[in-house]
Amino acid sequence: MSYLDHAATTPMRPEAIAAMAAQFGDVGNASSLHTAGRRARRVVEESRELIAGHLGASPSDVVFTAGGTESDNLAVKGLFWARRTQDPQRVRFLTSAIEHHALIDPLMWLGTAEDAQICQVGVDPNGRLDLEALAELITHDPDSVAAISVMLANNEVGTIQPLLEVVAMAKAHDIPVHTDAVQAVGQLDIDFSCLGVAAMSVSAHKLGGPTGIGALLLGRSIEPTPILHGGGQERNVRSGTLDVPAIAGFAAALDAAMNDRVERNARVSALRDDLIARIQRAVPDAVLNGSPILDEANRLPNNVHFSFPGCQGDALLMLLDAKGIECSTGSACSAGIAQPSHVLLALGASQTAARSSLRFSLGWNSTQADVDAVVESIAPAVERARLASGTLIDHA
Amino acid sequence: MRESVPMKVVAALSGGVDSAVAAARAVDAGHEVVGVHLALSASRETHRVGSRGCCTLEDARDARRIADVLGIPFYVWDLSEEFRREVVDDFIAEYQAGRTPNPCIRCNESIKFSAVLNKARGLGFDAVCTGHYARIENDQAGGLVLKRGVDPKKDQSYVLGVLSEQDLSQSLFPLGDSTKDQVRREASERGLLVADKSDSYDVCFIPDGDTGAFLRSELGDQPGDIVDESGAVVGEHQGAFAFTVGQRRGLALGDPADDGRARFVLSIEPINNKVVVGPRESLAVQRLDLETAIALKDVDPDGIEVQWRAHGSPAAARAVINDHGVVDAVELRDVAYGIAAGQELVMFVGDRVVGSARIRSAAR
């Protein structure tokens, strides 16, 4: 089996499994005042410090959540509500056209339920934010901007976004910026305080931790309005009993990911470069999506994303799956229905091209054999898939 | 039965009990089976409404769980564009033209045994397996024929009559020899969780069953007159497209007819947006002209039976052979009522399908 869908979820690090296993047998609510509670609380706080340390944040910045989707929802809704409460004219929310659905959908909900005005900024053909367009949207009427959210690295095509520039623009008008860093954390060197964002979403299972745990890194400049009210845990921003084993696993995974980050990235990006070059040789008309500049300032080291003209992505996926190669047509969707990717459409791809794409994403345990398996299977699969799509009724 | 050689088969899994058992039997027969659920609605909203349509989220989940139980790979194929174009748009256009379409036949003809079969063939599969109640058998000449399923209440040969012999050669209908009760019992014995799921009857893209409201939402209100056979205005309507020949309910005629008898839709005149109503006897027809001619092989033209509804009873008829030696009309032995242009006419000899064509017009 060649697992090349690490951007969907990556195998747990042995360190994370060990850290979690060490906690499962112990009792203790981290909010309890007795010895068992204090023990659990200590694990949580040590984990919080470890996570904060690796991400350039202070421990009190780390608000544990159930994962990336909750972090994005809390940031988007919480920042919007808090900022509009301070000043009712702040109704605009600026964002990019290539965000994950965990960010887009709460924003669209704010648009319909709360009369927020959502402004999406386009990207260039490589998937990088159009900074001039963003600047125009801000300076047009800065006082009406509630917040800005731009992802750190795109989950489909891996393009790194110019976040420092975004923050600089926003800072001139004291507008808070949130970033969805779910794909970037563990791969890139991120310093929350240097970045200057008000909030940053992190998910554990993308970096070798368990699913169901993540964090919103949250500075002290603004307190978002909570979504979950209750026992007042996590700065009263996110109530709910803390999941001690998951938090320990999250911290251990991030620790492992950051400790071997440089050498791992060198190895993974070499595999990535080899995979790109050999796919292009095997299928000469395949189109690489995202940034062609394969360095850490432009593209995630683990991301390979191609369009295969004349193919349907879902047919290719099925053919490769039958060969033991696991990849993705875009972001996974619960109903399994392949909508053409809004990210590729934003990059300027046609509907057809958007449906013809596959993402191969590498991870900490990827091997040369995984790459070789794809290279061996891709040309026959593309040929097959072209045959299959050619036989569909064509009324174009 | 046909000889069963192991094939690579795509099993269409609707999430219902029939396709589940059909796929299970295909696995048992030694075929290499991959389960595929067809996503036919592009709108994510309609996946959430309607409990019995073909394309709800619940059905997609059930289909996935069936594949898990059978231990076969599972994928969702998005054919929403093809479905919209070939089935839904055709359905609307047919009603707009004053005709009565059968969308399930269109779906079999252009989606399940065309788009799906072609895609499956392209991907290296040999056949498509579905849970239809119909049998495919060898005839004496070595060809393939479609026969009624053995369960008369569930027989679906009518909606499959459009399939060509080549389509049949690439299709598996493992339920043709079974009754629905047997299939439900087998599903339960196999641990398939959908054994008790209710059957779907509605048009899947109209989950609430209100065809008129669906057509008005697609086409907008187009008010016009309801007239009797003399041309006198007896009522008004919000769109002639929403009516079907033979329809009695929903005419909302204020005053009763002079003779006090029930009135039926006799015809729909799309060009001047009129609906003509009258007494039941005016619906009587005996001659049905067909849109496409059929060549009958080894069939006595005087001894056929025909059916124009999925669950109608067969009627004795004579095939009318034209100067070119093909059948382009049939004459019913007894008059029938409420047959509309656009309906599919399927011809049988005994339990064997011998031809299928759309009705162009019906006359006395």
Rounded average pLDDT over A82-105: 97
How would residue B47 be classed by pLDDT, with cut points 50, 70 and 90? very low
Which residues from chain B sit within 8 angstroms of residue A313, using beta carbons? Answer: none
Known catalytic residue: A311?
no
Gap between the Cα atoms of A123 and B97, Å rounded: 46
Gap between the Cα atoms of A16 and A24, Å rounded: 12
Residue of B40, B76, B78, B81 to mutate, testing the A interface (most A Cβ within 10 Å of its Cβ):
B78
Q: Do A336 and B119 touch (CB under 8 A)?
A: no
Inter-residue contact B199 to B153 (CB < 8 Å): no
Q: Do B119 and A315 touch (CB under 8 A)?
A: yes
> DSSP per residue over B16-30, as a string?
SHHHHHHHHHHHHTT
> DSSP per residue over B74-104, as a string?
EEEEE-HHHHIIIIIHHHHHHHHTT----HH
Residue of A112, A337, A382, A395 to mutate, testing the B interface (most B Cβ within 10 Å of its Cβ):
A337
Q: What are B259-299's pLDDT values in tens digits? A: 788 899 999 999 999 999 999 999 999 999 999 999 998 89
Size of chain B, expressed as the number of residues it contains: 364
Residue of A312, A351, A391 to mutate, testing the B interface (most B Cβ within 10 Å of its Cβ):
A391
Nearest residue, CB atoms, B78 vs list A318, A338, A384 = A338
Residue of A333, A356, A382, A392 to mutate, testing the B interface (most B Cβ within 10 Å of its Cβ):
A392
* Minimum distance, in Å, between the CA of residue A122 and any CA atom of chain B: 25
Residue A128: how many CA atoms within 13 Å on its side-chain side?
16
How would residue B256 be classed by pLDDT, with cut points 50, 70 and 90? confident
Rounded average pLDDT over A349-372: 95
Gap between the Cα atoms of B75 and B92, Å rounded: 30
Residue of A341, A393, A394, A395 to mutate, testing the B interface (most B Cβ within 10 Å of its Cβ):
A393
Which residues, in sequence order, are bridge partners of residue A63? A216
How would residue B46 be classed by pLDDT, with cut points 50, 70 and 90? very low
> What are the φ/ψ torsions at residue A181 (nearest 5 degrees)?
-105, 25
Rounded average pLDDT over A11-16: 98
User: Model's pTM, two decimal places?
Assistant: 0.87
Q: What are A302-317's pLDDT values in tens digits? A: 999 999 999 999 899 9
pLDDT computed for residue B49 by the predictor: 39
Which residues from chain A sit within 8 angstroms of residue B75, using beta carbons? Answer: 314, 317-318, 336
Nearest residue, CB atoms, A321 vs list B73, B80, B85 = B73
Say yes or no: A390 contacts chain B, CB-CB below 8 A: yes
**Nearest residue on chain A to B124, alpha-carbon basis:** A384
Q: What is the mean pLDDT of chain B?
A: 91
Which residues from chain A sit within 8 angstroms of residue B85, using beta carbons? Answer: 395
pLDDT at residue A333 greater than cutoff 80? no
How would residue A393 be classed by pLDDT, with cut points 50, 70 and 90? very low
Which residues from chain A sit within 8 angstroms of residue B82, using beta carbons? Answer: 392-393
Q: In angstroms, what CA-CA distances link A168 with A138, A171, A299, A336? A: 12, 5, 22, 39
Q: In angstroms, what CA-CA distances link A162 with A128, A131, A297, A344, B332? A: 7, 8, 9, 19, 76
Gap between the Cα atoms of B169 and A107, Å rounded: 51
pLDDT at residue B54 greater than cutoff 50? no
Of the ranges A64-78, A352-366, A380-394, B45-59, which one carries the lowest mean pLDDT score?
B45-59
pLDDT computed for residue B167 by the predictor: 96
Contact residues of B toward A, CB < 8 A: 34, 37, 39, 44, 47, 57, 60, 64, 73, 75-78, 80, 82, 85-86, 110, 114-115, 118-124
Which residues from chain A sit within 8 angstroms of residue B121, using beta carbons? Answer: 388, 391
Gap between the Cα atoms of B209 and B224, Å rounded: 24
Binding-face residues of A in 265-324 toward B, CB within 8 A: 314-315, 317-319, 321-322
Which residues from chain A sit within 8 angstroms of residue B64, using beta carbons? Answer: 336
Rounded average pLDDT over B311-318: 93
Inter-residue contact B251 to B226 (CB < 8 Å): yes
DSSP letter (8 states) at residue B320: E
pLDDT at residue B81 greater than cutoff 50? yes
Gap between the Cα atoms of A44 and A64, Å rounded: 10
- What is the enclosing helix (H) or strand (E) of A262? helix A261-282
pLDDT at residue A395 greater than cutoff 50? no
Q: Do B60 and A338 touch (CB under 8 A)?
A: no
* Minimum distance, in Å, between the CA of residue A132 and any CA atom of chain B: 34
Q: Do A393 and B110 touch (CB under 8 A)?
A: yes
Among residues B54, B104, B107, B129, the one annotated as catalytic is B107
Q: In angstroms, what CA-CA distances link A36 with A230, A245, B175, B361? A: 22, 14, 61, 84
pLDDT computed for residue A391 by the predictor: 52
**Nearest residue on chain A to B40, alpha-carbon basis:** A337
Rounded average pLDDT over A137-153: 97
Q: Which two tokens stand for residue B311?
A: 């669950």
Helix A244-259 × helix A35-54 angle, to 10°: 30
State how far Cα A190 lies from the chain centre. Answer: 14
Inter-residue contact A268 to A304 (CB < 8 Å): no
> Which 3 state secondary structure label does DSSP give B189?
helix
Say yes or no: A351 contacts chain B, CB-CB below 8 A: no
Which residues, in sequence order, are bridge partners of residue A215? A64, A202
Query: A14-258 is classed in which CATH architecture?
Result: 3-Layer(aba) Sandwich (3.40)
- Which residue spans of chain A are classified as CATH 3.90.1150.10? 2-9+260-390
Q: What are B322-348's pLDDT values in tens digits? A: 999 999 999 999 999 999 999 999 999
CATH code reported for the domain at A2-9+260-390: 3.90.1150.10
Which residues from chain B sit within 8 angstroms of residue A389, using beta carbons? Answer: 119, 122
Rounded average pLDDT over A145-149: 98
Rounded average pLDDT over B294-314: 92
> Edge-to-edge strands of the sheet including B74-78?
B74-78, B32-39, B8-12, B127-129, B171-172
**Nearest residue on chain B to A389, alpha-carbon basis:** B119
- Which residue spans of chain A are classified as CATH 3.40.640.10? 14-258
pLDDT computed for residue A76 by the predictor: 98
Instruction: Spell out a b/e string for B109-142, using b for 16 or more CB atoms within 10 Å of the CB, else e.
Output: bbbbbbbbbbbbbbbebbbbbbbbbbbbeeeeee
Q: How many CB pairs under 8 A join A and B?
A: 66
Inter-residue contact A357 to A305 (CB < 8 Å): yes
Q: Do A335 and B60 touch (CB under 8 A)?
A: yes
Better-scored residue on pLDDT, B147 or B257: B147
Q: Quick one: what percent of chain A has pLDDT higher than 90?
A: 92
pLDDT computed for residue A29 by the predictor: 96
pLDDT computed for residue B175 by the predictor: 98
Gap between the Cα atoms of B272 and B253, Å rounded: 19
Proportion of chain B in helix, strand, coil states, percent, rounded to 5: 30, 30, 45
Inter-residue contact A302 to A4 (CB < 8 Å): no
Inter-residue contact B63 to B13 (CB < 8 Å): yes
Q: How do strand B171-172 and strand B127-129 relate by DSSP bridges?
A: parallel
Which residues from chain B sit within 8 angstroms of residue A387, using beta carbons? Answer: 122-123
DSSP letter (8 states) at residue A160: B
pLDDT computed for residue A373 by the predictor: 98
* Minimum distance, in Å, between the CA of residue B123 and any CA atom of chain A: 5
pLDDT computed for residue A202 by the predictor: 98
Q: Quick one: what percent of chain A has pLDDT higher than 70?
A: 96
**Nearest residue on chain B to A317, alpha-carbon basis:** B75
Q: Which two tokens stand for residue A153?
A: 């690295």
CA angle A232–A233–A234, rounded 5-degree value: 120
Q: Do A336 and B75 touch (CB under 8 A)?
A: yes
Catalogue all structural domains in chain B, each as residue range(s) with its CATH number.
8-189 (3.40.50.620), 221-278 (2.30.30), 284-363 (2.40.30.10)
Gap between the Cα atoms of B252 and A80, Å rounded: 52
Gap between the Cα atoms of B270 and B289, Å rounded: 20
Nearest residue, CB atoms, B115 vs list A384, A385, A392 = A392
Q: What are B191-249's pLDDT values in tens digits? A: 997 878 877 767 888 878 889 999 999 999 999 999 999 999 999 999 999 999 999 88
Gap between the Cα atoms of A73 and A245, Å rounded: 24
Q: In angstroms, what CA-CA distances link A261 with A54, A265, B295? A: 11, 6, 73
Q: How do strand A177-180 and strand B264-269 relate by DSSP bridges?
A: unpaired
Q: What are A336-350's pLDDT values in tens digits? A: 566 789 999 999 999
Q: Do A384 and B124 touch (CB under 8 A)?
A: yes
Single-letter code of the amino acid located at A151: M
Return the beta strands (E) in A253-316 as ranges: 287-288, 303-307
Q: Which two tokens stand for residue A351?
A: 């509907």
pLDDT at residue A222 greater than cutoff 60? yes
- Give which of B357, B344, B359 is closest to B102, Cα–Cα: B344
pLDDT computed for residue B322 by the predictor: 93
Helix A261-282 × helix A244-259 angle, to 10°: 80
Q: Do B39 and A336 touch (CB under 8 A)?
A: yes
* Minimum distance, in Å, between the CA of residue A223 and any CA atom of chain B: 35
**Nearest residue on chain A to B118, alpha-carbon basis:** A391
